[in-house]
Copies of this chain bind each other. A is one copy, B any other.
Amino acid sequence: MTSRCKIIQLPKIADPRGNLTFIEENRHVPFEIKRVYYLYDVPGGETRAGHAHKKLQQFVIAVSGSFDVIVNDGFEKKRHHLNRSYSGLYIPPMMWREIVNFSSASVCLVLASELYDEKDYIRNFATFRAMTKRTHALRSPRKRMAAY
């Protein structure tokens, strides 16, 4: 269910000298922050990503400019437009994501629950879809029984 992805409002300390937003692990995001990465110098209108993670949880913020994050759990798609420095999108494991429609000079900041691990990536959508079908099937009680 794409509703497992959640927009989280962050604290914003407003000040005429500039605004400040902070994110603490296990408080504003439901995981320990082990890695931080960011996308920048993205040409306007560009598309990134197109993959899912087996275990990794992420939190995505448009700290500058705007972009859309399209999440897909293998059954349904949802598009989130991010354009505020003080809110972000939580993405749980097993969620295909694409980041599209970057505005010029945008910066996409991502907090991640794990260190980089290539084995955690699912880069093929058909593989991802097959994996989610299996999980989905196991969620149905009759199918779950049949699996034993």
Contacts and interface: CB of A to CB of B under 8 A. Distances in A.
Interface string A45-82: 01110000000000000011000000000000000000
Interface residues of A, number: 35
Contact of A40 (B43, B85, B115): B85
Contacts of A85: 38, 40-41, 107
Given A64-B40, A85-B40, A35 B19 contact: no
Contacts of A111: 36
A25 B35 contact: yes
Contacts of A116: 22, 24
9 contacts: A16-B43, A17-B46, A17-B48, A18-B48, A23-B37, A24-B115, A33-B34, A41-B85, A63-B107
A47 B17 CA distance: 7
